[in-house]
Structure 1
Amino acid sequence: MNSLVRSLARSLGGLLRAVLRAIATVIVVPLLLFEEWGWEPLAALVARLSRLPFWAALEDRLRRLPPWGALLAFFVPVLVLLPVKVLALFLFSNGHAATALTVLVLAKLVGTALVARIFQLVEGPLMRIPWFARWYPRWKAWKDQVLALVRQSRPWRTVKAINRRISRGWRRLREG
């Protein structure tokens, strides 16, 4: 009887892990795709602000942060955008779904842009934090593996082919 209970517990544990993995995949993969799409271009866009003296000085201070200060710098966009997200919830609750969605999308774009740029500036100090140096490469390898699987999928290849055709057509129209 005791071995039956252990066997059942292992089966339920495996089922629970599979369900959690499926849920995480449904939630995490779209976020990874958005981050992958937006990380570099949005960071480059924010980097253009370094032409402004105030922004250049701010970036210089970020580069010189100690490791834990660099980690805390990631909370700045979260704190700055929190009121914006609360505003979006308020708009949703008052029946302004389209406006709320627009506010949320813009907040996500701005947040991603800021976090991406901050990460570019403080990656060195972050890698001096032992747990970060241990886990970040693992996270990156897992993320790259997931994205490689997504890129091999038929829907991804189909969308890419459609995008290439649209881009070629758009280029011909502009040149034409």
Structure 2
Amino acid sequence: MKPPPTESNSLLHTLARLPFRLLKSLFGWLLALVILFEEWGWEPLQRALAWVGQLPGLRWLESRIQALPPYGALAIFLLPTLMLLPVKLLALWLIGQGKLLGGTLVILTAKVVGTAIVARLFRLTHETLMQLAWFARLYTRWVTWKEALLTQVRASWPWRFSRAMKHRTQQRWARLRAKLKQPD
């Protein structure tokens, strides 16, 4: 039988859980930043690759990708993740060698290029992937969870503050441009 909780036991329990709560919070914010980057970059990067995809050889390739069966589409969709793993390991190795800037640039480049490719492949394979019941179920859960996380981030004071600062900066820039355009 457990002894009844005392005030000191409760305080110790709270203090013992504090590092885990801090790590969970930090992980949540880092994950939110990654998701926000992908939200910000997903459509513009996908459109950029769609523009590149208008080249004759790539147009043929995109039509072949769209014609794949569900598990073929899944393999093509997952391929960039596997291909970027060695690049990310290279970046970590560079950082380990003391080349922080080089490693960071490799990671950022891989993230941007990887997001662009995955966004385009997802656009091309989305309908086919949704034919897989388990994929459709996981995708629906992912979208629901992601939207809840983004709603929470957008309700936070840092987000609201940065949006207000962005709005003010845009207003000031517009006023400055209007003044510069006025004839003397």
TM-score range, shorter chain: 0.7 to 0.9
1:163 aligns with 2:166: yes
The structure 2 residue matched to 1:124, chosen from 124, 127, 137, is 127
Task: Kindly state the Cα deviation for residue 173 of structure 1 after the two structures are TM-superposed.
Answer: 5.2
2:73–2:128: 8 Å Cα contact kept in structure 1? yes
The structure-2 alpha-carbon separation of the partners of 1:168 and 1:48, relative to structure 1 and needing over 3 Å to count, comes to: farther
Q: Percent identity?
A: 45
* Structure ranking higher in helix proportion: 1
Contact 2:77 2:121 in 1 (8 A): yes
Displacement of 1:92: 1.1
- When the two chains are superposed, the root-mean-square deviation of aligned CA atoms in Å is 2.5
Task: Tell me if 1:88 matches 2:91.
Answer: yes
The CA distance in 2 between the partners of 1:167 and 1:26, in whole Å, is: 26
| Cα offsets for 1:20-67 (capped at 9, x unmatched) | 864652442222111111111111111111121122112111111111
> CA shift at 1:109, angstroms?
0.6
Alignment partner of 1:67 is 2:73: no
Return the alpha-carbon distance in structure 1 between the equivalents of residues 78 and 162 of structure 2: 35
1:40 match? 43
How many residues are aligned here?
164
Letter of the 1:160 partner, please give it: R
Q: Which runs of 5+ in 1 are unaligned?
A: 5-10
Pick which of 164-173 and 99-108 moved more.
164-173
- The answer on 1:154 being equivalent to 2:157 is yes
Q: Does 1:28 align with 2:31?
A: yes
**TM (normalized to structure 2)?**
0.77
Query: Which of 99, 120, 124 is residue 102 of structure 2 equivalent to?
Result: 99
Q: Tell me the distance in 1 between the aligned counterparts of 2:90 and 2:144.
A: 36
AA partner of residue 86 (structure 1)? L
- Which residue of structure 2 lines up, in the alignment, with residue 133 of structure 1? 136
The answer to whether the Cα contact below 8 Å between 2:88 and 2:110 also exists between their aligned partners in 1 is: yes
Distance 1:170 1:107 in 2: 33
Distance 1:163 1:97, change over 3 A: same
Summarize deviations over 1:104-161 as a string: whole Å, max 9, x none.
0110011111111111111111111111111211210121111112112221111112
